[in-house]
């Protein structure tokens, strides 16, 4: 699995429609689903939760949970659906996740994460990876982080995606936890130095491909989050700059034209247009007319209305398609 550039799992953002759009921009980046809880898969609509278009691959599914048996069961579901990786969420600090005793709070119980990894490794053949923080609350020493990585890696995890900020479980919102705790890239670099056989992926604060490429001098891969959602076209040169692929990147208009048949297909299945266009608002970021493009799409789809022609009308503000 090539993890040199990954797109972070983001709740309410990286659903299957967003991932389809991102795949039209880059063929090589590794995409992640939104976090799916084990309870949702065990007792909810697993077909809906695990549905994706084959063109989205390579694709990883992130699970949230803390029970080894449940995590193993859900990992099997993920593998059976054809995902290329299953990832454990050990980084989310939200109150809802904390109430379920998973996410970032699992950093305090590395044995639990290790048991989950071992059970999942026994259940599936696809890679089992962990996405974590560098610490939680006052428990943010390098020694404790290294002990966590050592314990979990001994259970069979060889890839760690590390958000280079600690998480405050009390007093900060999930949004603030993405920006307020200072970035500590040096901590992630040290992990790679001390665990050279592990694959270490750096996450946090990366907004350009130049920044991402520079980090590859220190770590095995990078993960970009919010910037890739709000400005998806930044990924256009990724296949060439990060992965060394030949050929020119697609133009914004080509991406949009290739997305329209997918939009039409999803509309024919009863999906409201705004569920698709909300992921497209940043496609023309920085282009003259982008503000009018966003406004037209937002206003025209606000009440569940609109069709493919709505998108074509919005595109007139940026020169048409």
Alpha-carbon dihedral angle through residues 244, 248, 249, 250, given to the nearest 10 degrees? -150
Task: Give the integer Cα–Cα distance in Å for 298 and 278.
Answer: 8
Distance (Å, whole) CA 89 – CA 64: 5
Q: Residues 64, 100: contact at Cβ < 8 Å?
A: yes
Helix (H) or strand (E) holding 96: helix 95-99
- Of the residues 92, 105, 116, 157, which is catalytic? 92
- What lies within 8 Å, CB to CB, of 172 at 6+ separation is 93, 180, 181
Is residue 92 annotated as part of the catalytic site, yes or no? yes
CA distances from 191 to 114, 138, 205, 274 (A): 18, 19, 18, 42
Q: Give bridge partners of residue 36 from the DSSP assignment.
A: 63
Angle separating helix axes 252-268 and 16-25, nearest 10 degrees: 150
- Are 170 and 137 in contact by the 8 Å Cβ rule? The answer is yes
Distance from first CA to last CA of the chain, Å, rounded?
Answer: 35
Q: What amino acid positions are annotated as catalytic residues? A: 92
């Amino acid at each position: 699995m090539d993890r040199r550039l990954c797109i972070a799992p983001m709740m309410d953002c990286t659903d299957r429609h967003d991932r389809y759009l991102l795949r039209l921009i880059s063929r090589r980046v590794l995409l992640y689903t939104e976090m799916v809880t084990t309870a949702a898969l065990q007792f909810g609509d697993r077909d809906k939760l695990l549905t994706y278009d084959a063109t989205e691959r390579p694709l990883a599914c992130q699970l949230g949970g803390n029970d080894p048996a449940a995590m193993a069961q859900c990992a099997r579901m993920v593998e059976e659906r054809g995902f290329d990786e299953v990832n454990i969420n050990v980084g989310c600090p939200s109150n809802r996740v904390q109430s379920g005793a998973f996410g970032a709070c699992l950093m305090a119980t590395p044995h639990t994460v290790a048991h989950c990894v071992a059970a999942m490794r026994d259940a599936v053949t696809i890679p089992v990876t962990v996405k974590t923080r560098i610490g939680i609350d006052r428990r943010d020493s390098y020694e404790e982080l290294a002990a966590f990585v050592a314990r979990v890696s001994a259970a069979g995890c060889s890839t760690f995606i590390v958000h280079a900020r600690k998480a405050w479980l009390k007093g900060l919102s999930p949004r603030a936890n993405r920006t307020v705790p200072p970035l500590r890239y040096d901590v992630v670099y040290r992990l790679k130095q001390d665990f050279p056989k592990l694959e270490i992926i750096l996450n946090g604060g990366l907004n350009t491909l130049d920044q991402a490429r520079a980090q590859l001098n220190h770590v095995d891969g990078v993960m970009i989050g919010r910037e890739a959602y709000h400005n998806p076209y930044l990924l256009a040169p990724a296949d060439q700059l990060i992965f060394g692929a030949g050929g020119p990147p697609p133009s914004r208009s080509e991406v949009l034209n290739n997305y329209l048949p997918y939009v039409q297909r999803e509309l024919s299945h009863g999906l409201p247009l705004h569920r698709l266009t909300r992921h497209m608002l940043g496609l023309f970021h920085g282009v003259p007319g982008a503000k009018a493009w966003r406004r037209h799409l937002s206003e025209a789809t606000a009440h569940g209305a609109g069709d493919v022609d709505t998108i074509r009308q919005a595109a007139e503000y940026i020169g048409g398609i």
